[in-house]
Amino acid sequence: MSKMKQSDFNDFILLASKDHVFGIEALFSVKLTDQQKLLVNSCNSQTARVAVSSCTGSGKSSILSMMTFLYLMILPDCRILITAPSSNHLERVFRSELEKWFRRMPIDIQSMFDLTMRKIEYKTSKFVHFASLVTASVDNVENLAGGHAENYIIFADEASGITEDAFDILVGTLSTGAGGRFIQVSNPQRASGRFFEIFQRDLGTWTKIYFSAYDSPNVNKEWIEEMRETYGEDSDIFRIRVLGQFPRVGVSQFISADDVEDAVRNRLEYKDYINFPKLMGVDVARFGDDLTAIVIRQGPKIIDIKTYRGLDTMSVASKVAEINSYHNCANIFIDSIGVGAGTADRLRQLGLPVKDVVVSNKSTDPNTYSNLRAQLWGKLREWLAMGGADLPIEATDKEANLAAQLTSMEYGYNNKMQIQLLSKRDLKKMGHASPDIADALSFTFAEAIFEHRPRNRFRKEIRRGKFLWV
């Protein structure tokens, strides 16, 4: 980027202070969409309250990132709190957007900022101008509640997932002094919570905006058609991701964080699982950045997890055969769509007990699930809730975090009120890792052999009659 003269810089600050859209377009050499312009112009007031219910891919995180840098430059005594429901989203999505747009500014303007993992500081001012990235959690009360400045601004990304307690803390920071701006953007994932209530109630203090994919030039129209064919126009997933509208019922997180945390903490003794057969699930990688995942489950316990990158189908077959020679699994379940078919065929040649899993097939429980994949994840969810154990605490590869994969899965309902899961491709577009290990684990539930009596130290009372008990 070419450098700015001081006089040009002064003129830019003057014009950008009056016209924020001009300021962003000039600073980053971009052309904002009409949706982004509407958001920027709605935030002009020093006490603006703006909530945006957005489709996927509209550029909502990008515009918040650009507004962050511009506001730090043009507003006196400016402090910005950037928050989201999880540290994972702040680190994987929002922080990368900040880095991207930081690099788009002229080089001499870049030198006016210090950009670290959790803070942005604008150095050329007699006031301290900075933006902090803080996870929206009640555990961060002191960090969330510390906002006092002439121009105090809260940017909440994926605000639908912020808990009511954390949201109330954020609102409380705006109740003293001159107040401040509160800007929320989110896919409307939950039909509950404060973000949802803003759109359902007649709250005159909030400017409510909807971003539909049909109105966004940033969204590929072929993707809209793909979503329509995959999920149906009447499905919750289509409503959330394409139309920017709230789902019919409930939250969209398929597996609760509490159940996953319980499974991480729950440690079983040998006698609790020894009488169950070992089952192997294999998810063969389809793309270069995906993992080939192999999971061994024995009743209530995960025995082993292996992940690999860049293996061809024959190499995967060799790894499976090698692992099975040690574990001697009763069945090996492989997703045999696409590249997995070659691996399954080779393992059958070797005489191993391979079972094909075609996740796109119809569910055997059509009153509940739209296809076999959703049904297998449903079995996995039940297993976790009933005392599943020994989920690994840490992963050497950040993409191989089973707990994160389980809690990132989202769902909705189609027009038949069947549960639909979000596809791997759409999860990755949202910034999540591909749920390869979680899918492999789900394959181990392909046969109705869930017969253990879990030792559940942390969860609810066991309800008999739902499973075959030993």
Kindly state the average pLDDT of the residues 238-256. 83
- Among residues 282, 468, 305, the alpha carbon closest in space to that of 392 is found at 305
Architecture field, domain 257-443: 2-Layer Sandwich (3.30)
Residue 449, pLDDT > 80, answer: no
Which range is least confidently modeled, 34-43, 207-216, 280-289? 280-289
Residue 106, pLDDT > 90, answer: yes
Do 257-443 and 6-236 fall under one CATH topology?
A: no
- Look at residue 169 in the predicted model and tell me its pLDDT: 87
316 or 392, which is more confident: 316
- Among residues 192, 261, 297, 193, the alpha carbon closest in space to that of 407 is found at 261
pLDDT, tens only, 192-238:
788 998 998 766 789 999 999 999 999 999 999 999 998 999 888 89
Residue 400, pLDDT > 70, answer: no
pLDDT tier, 31 (very low <50, low <70, confident <90, very high otherwise): very high
Most confident of 182-191, 206-215, 456-465: 206-215
Residue 363, pLDDT > 60, answer: yes
Tokens read off for 332: 């090996």
Domain spans, the chain: 6-236, 257-443
Kindly state the average pLDDT of the residues 10-20. 94
- Among residues 68, 413, 14, the alpha carbon closest in space to that of 231 is found at 413
Q: What is the share, in percent, of the chain residues with pLDDT greater than 70?
A: 87
Using an 8 Å Cβ cutoff, are 236 and 412 in contact?
yes
Residue 128, pLDDT > 90, answer: no
Using an 8 Å Cβ cutoff, are 252 and 410 in contact?
yes
- Among residues 339, 344, 345, the alpha carbon closest in space to that of 312 is found at 339
Q: What's the CA gap between 443 and 379, in Å, rounded?
A: 10
pLDDT, tens only, 420-444:
998 888 888 776 788 999 999 999 9
Residue 452, pLDDT > 80, answer: no
Residue 289, pLDDT > 70, answer: no
Q: Are strands 292-298 and 278-283 parallel, antiparallel or unpaired?
A: antiparallel
117 or 18, which is more confident: 18
Kindly state the average pLDDT of the residues 181-190. 92
Residue 178, pLDDT > 70, answer: no
257 or 303, which is more confident: 303
Domain 6-236 of CATH type 3.90.550.10: no
305 or 450, which is more confident: 305
- Look at residue 396 in the predicted model and tell me its pLDDT: 47
